[in-house]
Amino acid sequence: MTRKHAVKTLPSKVLLPITPFLDMAFQLMFFFVLTFRPQAQEGQIAMFLPAPKGGAPSTPPPAIDEPLEEKEEYTIRVRSNNGDIASISFADKAGAPQEIGRQPSDLFRKLQSIALPDGAKRPSIKIEAMNDLVYGRLVQIMDVCIKAGFDSVGVAPLIEAPAP
């Protein structure tokens, strides 16, 4: 007669030592906190965008009883050739555009030469650029305007009249 021996197996418990995991997690966190070096901001561009075609304006119109303030505005037109700057022209609100050169430094000299009365707020600048201008060059033009002391700089597409 054969006896079958029933083998009792005890349920095994898996033990996970949590303390070493926590120690390692805190050490890694400490390492990354000490070695983290945030980069300086690449740049903040304060600008206004044109209202979408057929949509509502981006800012609400002033109330009827408020007088509409006439603001001075300069327009910079940037024409491009294969993505690079071909010409830069400058115009104030009343004047016709005058070509000032091809380099951002030419624009900087022009903006520096504008004399304003003491304490007067600098006018806003609208940059009209052709669609194929490389964005890096457009940002250079915006940086030049900001370095010259103009805080309000906006961008619009350059729309030229079709050739007859």
pLDDT value at residue 82: 83
Question: How confident is the model over 29-45, as pLDDT tens digits?
Answer: 999 999 988 776 665 55
What string of DSSP letters covers 6-63?
PPP-PPP-----HHHHHHHHHHHHHHHHHH--PPPP--------PPPTTS--SSPPPP
| AA letter at 56 | A
Question: How confident is the model over 102-138, as pLDDT tens digits?
Answer: 888 888 888 888 767 666 777 888 888 888 888 888 8
Predicted structure pTM score: 0.54
- The domains found in the chain, sorted by start residue, are 73-157 (3.30.420.270)
**Percentage, residues of the chain above pLDDT 70:** 70
Using alpha carbons, select from 150, 161, 118, 160 the residue that is nearest to residue 46: 150
**SS3 state of residue 79:** strand
Residue 88 pairs in a beta bridge with 78, 101
